[in-house]
Amino acid sequence: MTVFTFEHAPGDGDRPTVVFMSALFAGGWIWEHPYRHLAAAGRPVLRTHEAICALDRRVAGSIERLGDALLDACDEAGVGDVIVCANSLGGLVAIDLAGRHPDRVRGIAVSGAPGLTPDPDVGLSFDRRASVRPVGAEFGDRMMAALFHGEERFFTQEQMDGVGTMLLRPEAMVSMARSIKATRRYQVRPALDKVRCPSAYVWGRHDRMTPVDPWLELLAEYPETEVVVVADSGHIPMIERAAEYTAILEPFLDRCGRVPA
């Protein structure tokens, strides 16, 4: 197992680096559109490669350690101030980092975070005795139905095969179980109370894994936050509505300002 490796484009050094964090099952490839678009515009960006399930169980099972691992990758890249963009479990990591490192985290953009509803429904049983295992067409169909709103397949077969192969490893299954346990323990409201930086919540209206309505109710108590619901999207708007997600993200990044001189 490994801590995060990453891809980094330095861009314009006087702006905070936009850091895209991997999700529970999916690696940094879920951020392909915003990462490439922002890098081409000269904005400094970094994305981690490994899915959280691919990390050591001690890291994957702790929101705080995941955040520390993300900042370790930033340190290795020579990145200082950051704007953290994260989906799913990574969303809790972004919120937690903003509260613990207000001097460094200049903004957060969160999508599909757990913590307010029962365990995320991935539409699958990964028990090795079950009839559905994380390989083959049935696995792909059920995973797509859990993640996306429409019928279009947004993951390539190579990406699906990679997720399935990872989940067949016993250590990855343990890391997944510990990650989900960490979301049950995490106290979202106290964490939100500590966030002082600009915050955007960009959620798919049809997110079946982490439904948006409980978050809309809670975030109404934090009027300084920006909330955007993407109408025709499920759990991963940065893939399912990639151009729309990036268009929402760009003006928010501008509001996060520049690195102090």
Question: How far is residue 82's CA from residue 107's CA, in Å, rounded to a whole number?
Answer: 7
pLDDT tens digits for range 208-240: 889 999 999 999 999 999 999 999 998 999 999
Is the Cα torsion angle 257, 92, 87, 35 positive or negative in sign? positive
**Structural domains present in the chain:** 6-256 (3.40.50.1820)
Percent of the chain clearing pLDDT 70 (strictly above): 79
pLDDT of residue 172: 77
Pairing of strands 45-48, 82-87: unpaired
pLDDT tens digits for range 65-123: 999 999 999 999 999 999 999 999 999 999 999 999 999 999 999 999 999 987 665 54
pTM of structure? 0.87
Are residues 210 and 236 in contact, defined by beta-carbon separation less than 8 angstroms? no
Using DSSP's 3-state secondary structure scheme, residue 14 falls into: coil
134, pLDDT greater than 60: no
Query: What would the mean pLDDT of 189-205 be, rounded to a whole number?
Result: 97
Here the tokens at position 207 are 């997110």
Q: Where are the alpha helices (DSSP H) in 148-241?
A: 157-167, 170-185, 188-193, 213-219, 237-240
